């Protein structure tokens, strides 16, 4: 089965603090997933989400293997992204 958990408060990147940690703790305790897919909005920076996932608190519970990023090819050469 699939277990889905929504982080309240809007963008997960903006809520990468306590709301994300509470949701992640509940998900890990209840579902005990073999894989964890996190889909933040495109508005935030994934650096903050990754910082939570690789923090000392989650070292024993999570094994971060890959980060997948979708990029708009029409905008990749924009000064903002280079």
What's the pLDDT at 54?
Answer: 93
Q: Is the pLDDT of residue 41 over 80?
A: no
Least confident of 6-10, 23-27, 46-50, 67-71: 6-10
**pTM metric for this prediction:** 0.68
Helices (H) and strands (E) in the chain, counts: 2, 0
- Distance between CA atoms of 72 and 3, rounded to whole angstroms? 29
Highest mean pLDDT among 19-23, 30-34, 68-72: 30-34
Query: Per-residue pLDDT averaged across 7-31, rounded?
Result: 74
Residue 15: pLDDT over 70: no
């Amino acid at each position: 089965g699939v277990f889905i958990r929504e982080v309240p408060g809007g963008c997960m990147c903006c809520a990468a603090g306590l709301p994300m940690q509470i949701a992640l703790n509940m998900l890990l305790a209840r579902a005990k997933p073999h894989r964890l897919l996190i889909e933040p909005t495109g508005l935030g920076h994934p650096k903050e989400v990754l910082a939570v996932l690789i923090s000392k608190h989650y070292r024993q519970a999570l094994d971060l293997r890959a980060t997948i990023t979708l990029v708009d090819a029409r905008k990749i050469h924009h000064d903002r992204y280079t």
